[in-house]
């Protein structure tokens, strides 16, 4: 249920593109990135309405949303200013954010995992303690 708003069809630039078509692709990708703001807000609302209170995982997830939204906005600004080299460096923190989010679903008990992360434990240490799903 959490990930449903993020499912979109694959996009890419064909290998036989013409140079004059690149601005059109860039515009399409920026619009997709902008759509993620609403997707993240929807995911945030869904995670808050469980009806059974807030859990460690909710707080863990709540920490990833602002960072993701901020990175997307910075990425768009850099693309619009044609600063592609600087924009490429934002991919790593965005992937880090995604991997931290995804890691909670790799363990048997995501709430314990989130609690350990919030206590300051490193993820590779937590992996040794918590059971990882097969």
- Model pLDDT for residues 59-93, shown as the tens digit of each residue: 888 888 888 888 888 988 998 888 989 988 998 99
Q: How far apart are CA 70 and CA 97, in angstroms?
A: 11
**For residue range 41-57, what is the model confidence (pLDDT) as tens digits?**
777 777 777 667 778 88
Between the alpha carbon of residue 112 and those of residues 13, 19, 59, 75, the distances in Å are: 41, 50, 12, 33
Residue 55 has what DSSP assignment?
-
Q: How far apart are CA 104 and CA 113, in angstroms?
A: 6
Between the alpha carbon of residue 48 and those of residues 12, 34, 64, 81, 105, the distances in Å are: 34, 22, 14, 36, 18
Which pTM value belongs to this model? 0.68
Taking each helix axis from N to C terminus, what angle separates 91-103 and 56-80, rounded to the nearest 10 degrees?
160
């Amino acid at each position: 249920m959490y990930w449903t708003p993020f499912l979109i069809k694959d996009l890419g630039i064909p290998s036989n593109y013409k140079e004059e078509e690149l601005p059109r692709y860039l515009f399409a990708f920026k619009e997709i990135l902008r759509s993620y703001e609403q997707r993240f807000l929807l995911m945030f609302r869904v995670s808050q309405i469980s009806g059974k209170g807030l859990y460690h995982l909710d707080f863990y997830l709540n920490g990833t949303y602002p960072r993701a939204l901020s990175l997307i906005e910075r990425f768009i600004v850099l693309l619009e200013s044609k600063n592609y080299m600087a924009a490429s460096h934002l991919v790593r923190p965005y992937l880090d954010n995604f991997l931290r989010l995804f890691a909670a679903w790799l363990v048997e008990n995501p709430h314990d995992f989130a609690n350990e992360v919030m206590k300051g434990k490193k993820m590779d240490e937590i992996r040794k303690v918590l059971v990882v799903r097969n």
